[in-house]
A and B are shown apart, each in its own frame.
Chain A
Amino acid sequence: MNREDFPMLAQDIVYFDNGATTLKPKCVIDKTVEYYSEYGASSHRGDYDIAYKVDQEYEGARDKVRNFIHAKYLEEIIFTAGSTESLNLIASGFFKKLLEPGDEVLITKSEHASNVLPWFSLANTNGIKIGYIPLDDNHYVTLDNVKKSVTPNTKVISLAYITNVIGDIRPIKEIVEFAHQNNIFVVVDAAQSIGHIKTDVQDLDVDFMAFSAHKMCGPTGVGVLYGKKELLEEVEPFILGGGMNESFDNEHEVYYKELPTRLEAGTPNIAGVIALGSAIDYLESIGLDNIAMYEKDLRKYLVDRLLTIPHIDIINIESDSGIVSFNITDIFSQDVAYYLNKYNICVRAGNHCAKILKKEVGVHNTIRVSLYFYNTVEEVDMLVELLLDKDKILKEML
């Protein structure tokens, strides 16, 4: 649906790599151009009209984000460069000073690198331990397994809401409830979920959450860190400089601003933030529930068709998101991706930055199709038809 909104789809391509980044609707592209061509001044500075307009747009986008994820306060929305920066900011700005040797952070083997490496770094600097919540037979996280994994040393549980290879939607609300009963913080990497299912941070009661604009029809290079106000107050800015300081005279007299500005040093990605606001308007006009339902139906259609092909092995048959990972017997995933590229079909091949997952699922690399609402049954048919004949793939993949 809504294909006409996406200039990229005017080309003869089938875009199935939405887990990496989504396409941008014209309204988002136009908003970026609007900023640069109509009021391209800096934010939070200047007393002239267009500077005021920038602030209105920039802070207006913050309020759109707040409303979109149902956060309580505006100050709980921090603009960053993306999920990766958000997660790093939390690990090094909050948990680094809080965690002590022997404290444990629980993650899973199916996390993206950006929800693994910041914790590995703390393991090396702070002597914390990394624990892994075991995945069930479908590679899902269950509340039971979370309960079994928690020890008296567990201080943090950090999970993707939806994982980027398996595509399972984690029971975050239940996990948070249990975690908080045990004084454990919960960090959620919402990169893969934010544009696909409704998010209500107050209902979930998560402590911190990270996401990127570009995976929700917004521009690249901008993202959000959400944190409960009382926790964000404790976050040490890890980037210092202009915009975030109140005053300074010498190294002993430095005063930082209040939230959220304190954590947004330097001239921000103004165009990106404003365009993220447009992406939110756009997604809300379609409706997150409609998007989720559409994706689920299309995914089922794709999986049902793939299941009829004997040389295809699906890693995640059951999954509620739009992600399908599979392999073709005896053909390297990258070769399949190159083959499909010859028909202008864009899919991802590889380990999708989930490098510790391979031991868990026993497969190193996969072909990943990640759907979005602008994908169609016809596109799925085209893909499936091209995968029916293994000899054809072998013949044409080079």
Chain B
Amino acid sequence: MDENVRREIILDHYQNPKNKETVEDARYIKANSNNESCIDNINLYILIEEGIIKDIKFDGEACAISTSSTSIMITNLIGKTIKEAQEYIDCFDAMINEREYSEEVLKEGIVYNTIYKQGNRKTCALLPYKGIRKVLEEYEK
């Protein structure tokens, strides 16, 4: 991927994140994601109906990689079934941790396919995934 295109996509999702708003609707499940550097901190609000992710919103404070990764993740997960969402999440995790993955599944998510070169930013890209995993596991129960 062209470096300029990559940067543009990430910066755009950082400076104009999609679905960034606080939700006060009881139908949404809330999950917090923060990382050990005690700095990135986001809340996810997820609406699941009949096994389908109808909506996700987020708020909080985080770095460019975490914020853009959250925005991209949300864009790609809305409308998916739980199973499809899990597939997407596993695929993203595989990419970050240098295992085999499908570019087709990840769509814009592949902008982070070189993040493994900066070990200390892997946790940033994975930050929203920590939260969404918690919610999906909880929902499955």
Q: Which A residues have a C-beta under 8 Å from some C-beta of B?
A: 332-335, 338, 349-351, 353, 355, 364-365, 394-395, 397-398
Contacts and interface: CB of A to CB of B under 8 A. Distances in A.
A296 B121 CA distance: 34
A373 to B, nearest CB: 27
Nearest to A396: B7
B39 A398 contact: no
A365 B37 CA distance: 11
B61 interface: yes
Contacts of A364: 61
A316 B6 CA distance: 36
A334 B11 contact: no
A366 to B, nearest CB: 10
Interface string B27-45: 0000000000111100000
B38 A353 contact: yes
A365 B67 CA distance: 15
Given A351-B38, A353-B38, A398-B10, A365 B61 contact: yes
Contacts of B56: none
Nearest to A341: B120
A334 B36 CA distance: 13
Given A364-B61, A365-B61, A398-B64, A334 B7 contact: no
Given A332-B61, A334-B37, A334-B63, 6 more contacts: A332-B63, A334-B40, A338-B63, A338-B121, A395-B7, A397-B64
Contact of A332 (B11, B62, B118, B121): B62
B121 to A, nearest CB: 7
Question: Could you tell me the dominant secondary structure of chain B's interface residues?
Answer: helix
A365 B65 contact: no
Given A350-B37, A351-B38, A351-B39, A394 B61 contact: no
Contact of A349 (B39, B64, B118): B39
Contacts of B37: 334, 349-350
Contacts of B67: 332
Nearest to B37: A350
Contacts of A395: 7
Contacts of B40: 334
Contacts of A350: 37-39
Nearest to B41: A364
Interface of B: 6-7, 10-11, 37-40, 61-65, 67, 118, 120-121, 124
A368 B63 CA distance: 16
Contacts of A335: 63-65
Contacts of A365: 39, 61
B65 A398 contact: yes
A202 B124 CA distance: 48
Nearest to A352: B38
Nearest to B4: A395
A308 to B, nearest CB: 26
Contacts of B120: 338
A164 to B, nearest CB: 13
B92 to A, nearest CB: 18
B110 to A, nearest CB: 15
Nearest to B111: A398
B59 to A, nearest CB: 13
B43 to A, nearest CB: 14
A336 to B, nearest CB: 9
B108 to A, nearest CB: 15
A338 B65 CA distance: 11
A17 to B, nearest CB: 13
Contacts of A333: 39
Contacts of A353: 38
A334 B35 CA distance: 12
B63 A394 contact: no
8 contacts: A332-B64, A335-B63, A335-B65, A338-B121, A349-B37, A350-B37, A350-B38, A364-B61
A334 B67 CA distance: 12
Contacts of A394: 11
A3 B118 CA distance: 29
B62 A398 contact: no
Nearest to A394: B11
Nearest to B124: A334
Nearest to B40: A334
A273 B2 CA distance: 54
A397 B64 CA distance: 8
A365 B63 CA distance: 11
Query: Which 6 residue pairs are nearest across A and B when measured between Cβ atoms?
Result: A350-B39, A334-B63, A332-B63, A335-B64, A335-B63, A334-B39
Nearest to A350: B39
Contacts of A332: 61-64, 67
A73 to B, nearest CB: 39
